[in-house]
Amino acid sequence: MSYYDAAGDPVFPFARSFSPDDLNRLQQIFDDCLSECAFSIDSEQAEALGNTIIRLYAQGQRDPIAIKAAILPPFKGRAWAGRTA
């Protein structure tokens, strides 16, 4: 059975867990992107942003600059319903 997220990307259990260093990097990337996009921490947008960051990281992209370059333009350019930034 396959599951898909709202963007249509497959959702599956990760083959391995993240190390404490990985989690720190993920948190820093998320915090930077959240600030750049001006999303509320408890918003639907923040959840989608976090899911995207984790998916890219799990697929092997470890460069924070590359991750931000890949996701910030679409997230900043997307018209979010109810956004108050």
pLDDT for res 77? 81
Number of H helices, E strands in the chain: 3, 2
pTM, to two decimals? 0.74
pLDDT for res 15? 57
**Distance from C-alpha of 36 to C-alpha of 26, rounded to nearest angstrom:** 15
Helices 20-37 and 64-77: crossing angle, nearest 10°?
30
User: In the chain, where are the structural domains located?
Assistant: 15-77
pLDDT of the chain along its 85 residues, tens only? 566 676 777 666 555 678 999 999 999 999 999 999 999 999 999 999 999 999 999 999 999 999 999 999 999 887 665 544 4
| Alpha carbon separation from 78 to 45, 56, 67 (Å, rounded) | 10, 19, 17
